[in-house]
């Protein structure tokens, strides 16, 4: 009989979203009228349409494919030059990143999981708590962890708690770790990091020969001056970091699918014998073997967000979501709750009032305000005591949510 990968059996049956669905269904059955007005601020999916500049570029690309003279088959696995150049010229100006250090893909979720292909066994892995669950589960699948503990954490991972006391940026670990997952601006907490805080992490990584896996999926939402857009703004990062970027949240691409990984050619890992080896060359080999490139129309659509028309449309989208975040922040503050995030990211992270835990707040928001949020505990043990409100919604829905929060929970 064919042997399976037993590591998969260590994975917890998806708990968070099934449990949310179970509670929402129970509510809907018990309160069919109220359920008609239910507003969902739980999941992290965008709601506003893909920019016209992108749609037009994709239509044109499809027409090219319909003509023998302009038809294109397989493209370069690492992405078309037109997109890699546009990315560097628009998002990495002055950071020393070159177009051949960009690897275009069909999503950051896959990239952040697939990257483990090029790292060997025995690495010590550090992740933040709360965390984007993909980082944990992909390490479980590949055998980098032991069994699950009762609280949902895994043996063998180094968990770094993020809370109000450390401004949601983890303390530098006492021990030596090899791979560090950081996500800023952060999902789920909606908080950002300053240059100084990120510099401390880069310094740690350089000193310990560790690699930082930096997820910047929410980069485009940054509003404040002292918040770095890329880890490559930090001195030394070219020697210790990989960055993940996605078009999903910036331009309504969650269904279109396009993202990229930035790997400097100066980044090294070590071979079994201890000698250094290029990470860039390994990922290039991995990408060419297991991936045949993102779709041509999609890459044209992604490149279009860097045209003048595209930039203007993206700016409107960001303004819309960040306007929503501001309203949600203010509504929660008005009823005396302590609010984090929502300034440089589209998530608002709210401290539960004394005496209520995060599932308790989930139930109150559902029953009293008929609003679905995400309980912080679902993202890790350190998320207990908080809940997440997503600002990915229409303005009308967000205004209604604010009204209900003030009337029902105030
Ligand atoms: C949404 C999101 C992504 C983007 O994933 P895609 O696969 O590109 O859609 C990456 N990281 C985090 C933390 C996210 O929330």
Peptide bond into 386 cis (omega under 30): no
Q: Which of 268, 232, 187, 278 is nearest to 87 (CA)?
A: 232
CA-248 nearest atom, ligand 1: 9
Number of Cβ within a 10 Å radius of residue 391: 26
pLDDT along the chain (410 residues), means of 10: 96 80 95 94 92 98 98 97 98 97 98 98 96 95 94 93 95 95 98 97 98 98 97 98 97 97 98 96 97 98 98 98 98 97 98 95 96 95 96 97 93
The answer, yes or no, to whether any atom of ligand 1 lies below 6 A from the CB of 214, is: no
Per CATH, domain 13-49+311-409 is 3.90.1640.10: no
Q: Are 327 and 402 in contact (CB under 8 A)?
A: yes
Q: Are 138 and 127 in contact (CB under 8 A)?
A: no
The Cα 230–Cα 182 span in angstroms is: 12
> How far away, in angstroms, is 187 Cα from ligand 1 center?
9
For atom 15 of ligand 1, which residue has the closest CA?
187
Q: How does DSSP assign 327-390, residue by residue?
A: HHHHHHHHTT--EEE-SSSSEEEEEPPTT--HHHHHHHIIIII-EE-EEGGGG-GGGTTEEEEE
Q: How does DSSP assign 158-183, residue by residue?
A: EEEE--GGGTTSPPPPSS--SEEEEE
The CA–CA distances, whole Å, from 229 to 84, 178, 188, 319 equal 18, 24, 18, 17
pLDDT for 43 equals 78
What's the gap between Cα 190 and its chain centre? 10
Extents of the domains making up the chain: 13-49+311-409, 54-308
> How far away, in angstroms, is 77 Cα from ligand 1 center?
21
> How far away, in angstroms, is 67 Cα from ligand 1 center?
34
Per CATH, domain 54-308 is 3.40.640.10: yes
pLDDT for 13 equals 67
CA-183 nearest atom, ligand 1: 13
> How far away, in angstroms, is 108 Cα from ligand 1 center?
5
Segment 58-106, tens digit of pLDDT:
999 999 999 999 999 999 999 999 999 999 999 999 999 999 999 999 9
What's the gap between Cα 309 and its chain centre? 26
> Quick one: tokens of 138?
């992909």
The answer, yes or no, to whether any atom of ligand 1 lies below 6 A from the CB of 358, is: no
pLDDT for 86 equals 98
pLDDT for 161 equals 97
The answer, yes or no, to whether any atom of ligand 1 lies below 6 A from the CB of 84, is: no
Which residues neighbour 88 within 8 Å (Cβ) at sequence distance 6 or greater? Answer: 97, 98, 99, 102
pLDDT for 44 equals 84
By most ligand atoms within 8 Å of CB, the mutation choice from 112, 113, 130, 217 for ligand 1 is 217
Q: How does DSSP assign 288-335, residue by residue?
A: HHH---S-HHHHHHHHGGGSHHHHHHHHHHHHHHHHHHHHHHHHHHHT
């Amino acid at each position: 009989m064919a042997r399976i990968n037993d590591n998969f059996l260590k994975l917890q049956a998806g708990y968070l979203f099934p449990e949310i669905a179970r509670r929402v269904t129970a509510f809907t059955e018990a309160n069919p009228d109220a359920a008609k007005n239910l507003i969902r601020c739980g999941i992290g999916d965008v709601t506003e349409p893909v920019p016209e500049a992108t749609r037009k570029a994709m239509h044109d690309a499809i027409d090219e494919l319909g003509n023998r003279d302009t038809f294109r088959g397989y493209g370069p696995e690492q992405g078309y030059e037109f997109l890699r150049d546009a990315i560097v010229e628009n998002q990495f100006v002055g950071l020393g990143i070159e177009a051949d250090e960009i690897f275009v893909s069909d999503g950051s979720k896959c990239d952040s999981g697939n990257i483990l292909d090029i790292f060997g066994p025995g690495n010590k892995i550090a992740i933040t708590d709360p965390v984007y669950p993909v980082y944990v589960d992909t390490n479980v699948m590949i055998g980098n962890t032991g069994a699950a503990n009762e609280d949902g954490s895994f043996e063998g991972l180094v968990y770094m708690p993020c809370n109000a006391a450390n401004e949601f940026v983890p303390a530098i670990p006492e021990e030596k770790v090899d791979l560090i997952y950081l996500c800023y601006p952060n999902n789920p907490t909606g908080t950002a990091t300053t240059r100084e805080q990120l510099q401390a992490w880069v310094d740690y990584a350089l000193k310990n020969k560790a690699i930082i896996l930096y997820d910047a999926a929410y980069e485009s939402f940054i509003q404040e001056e002292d918040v770095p857009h890329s880890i490559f703004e930090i001195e030394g990062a070219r020697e210790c970091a990989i960055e993940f970027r996605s078009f999903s949240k910036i331009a309504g691409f969650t269904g279109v699918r396009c993202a990229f990984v930035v790997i400097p050619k100066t980044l090294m890992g070590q071979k079994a014998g201890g000698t250094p080896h290029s990470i860039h060359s390994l990922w290039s080999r991995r990408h060419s073997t297991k991936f045949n490139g993102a779709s041509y129309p999609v890459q044209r659509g992604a490149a279009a967000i860097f045209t003048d028309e595209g930039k203007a449309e993206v700016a409107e989208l960001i303004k819309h979501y960040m306007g929503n975040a501001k309203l949600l922040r203010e509504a929660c503050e008005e009823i005396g709750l302590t609010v984090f995030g929502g300034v440089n990211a589209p998530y608002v992270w709210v401290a539960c009032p004394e005496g209520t835990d995060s599932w308790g707040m989930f139930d109150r928001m559902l029953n009293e305000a008929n609003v679905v949020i995400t309980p912080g505990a679902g993202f890790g043990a350190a998320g207990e005591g908080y809940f997440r409100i997503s600002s990915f919604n229409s303005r009308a829905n967000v205004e209604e949510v604010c009204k209900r929060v003030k009337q029902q929970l105030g």
